Structure 1
């Protein structure tokens, strides 16, 4: 009998995700424990066998040694094709197999490592070599979703110069037969942000800072003033800037104090004026 660690129907749109990096220091028990107990609502991983396995083992160790309560937790993984796989991490699948077989093999390892029957969301890391291959991969994700194994499907774009997010999202819906429910993006333009909002696509912003804020520019100055007035750290203010604008920060860091500082951001209650001011700041010069 499979032991379920996560409830894939509990959290539809997490406010804050911890990105477990491939380097060992990002996936040890103390790092994962700090993230899960400080406020992060879930973890974002990728289909590297050593990577996923280490995170899953860390979570089980927390249960055994620290009395960690699973509670509500969002589990998200992604399929990273062989052209983007960093060494020395081995494939969990045969890189010469069809894209459908690769995805199903990688996904089966995710379920096995975490001892679950389904996960909250699964993303396709882009770009692939050809659009036809992207469509084939997308249809496989849709099949897994129809089988009840994935709550939401989407794409991850860490190389925005190589991939036009809006073109890809349109193509997936029109040629792949299903609209994406999640977009994880490195630097989404205002056009992409609006597209996601208009099409009910959950936008996740990568990187610790979420927005690149140019020092000395109006947005940087205004956010500093607001953070000081509200007694937030600047890191928390930057995360709240994303949250107030309807996106989920996906944070990668290794320092335990910084992880706890970031996790506490979602416990900050924003009133209407706070949200209004954060949205105003997001329109000022100095944000990328």
Structure 2
């Protein structure tokens, strides 16, 4: 069966969805997006995703008013119409359609698309076996805090990693790890500290990252926000990645060498379980 998607105010079968060839999201990646996880048929951290959406829209100056759209209602209806129990809802807002010009148009009507995707999140295979990653230079633009659709370089690097027989890439700048292709990076030191890079223009302000740090601190885990090097990551007791759909996923190998014992560790497993437990308590239906 075809999925029902949402395009500019209308729900319709995916094969009927259309956008202008002049849409600036297509021509310039002049668009922002959010991905909200769905478990047990409910939305995870929806309000936090909407706060970040507003920030991204403001940073790019896209004139879109989320309050006028009832985006929560649209998400709920898509989940219901597609009978989605586990997976994601993708939302993208571009500046809209206009003749191709490097100067951003004034008065363009933003384009809004949403769709669902069914995925195993709670019992994802990567959570059980762990991720193997390689490191590569971080050559992205320097406003990584804005969640734009400008994702070509991360896509190239992840594709290269998969071609090499591993799972993902952790990107490196000035000797320190920034983040993964679509996730934030964290390590647990031999003395039990959870280390993660502080917020700045250098990394995405991850919604899952923020929740995990809060839950970890509540559970008595010491959280330290500072840069960490590739060498530190390789010698850490454990490492893991966080994202909206990966939740908390262990990293067991970096550049061919094991992290810790080379298997998912108890600290990461505990944090993942805690995140899922708390998320289930706060689902929006």
Higher helix share: 1
Same-fold call, TM cutoff 0.5: no
TM-score (norm 2): 0.29
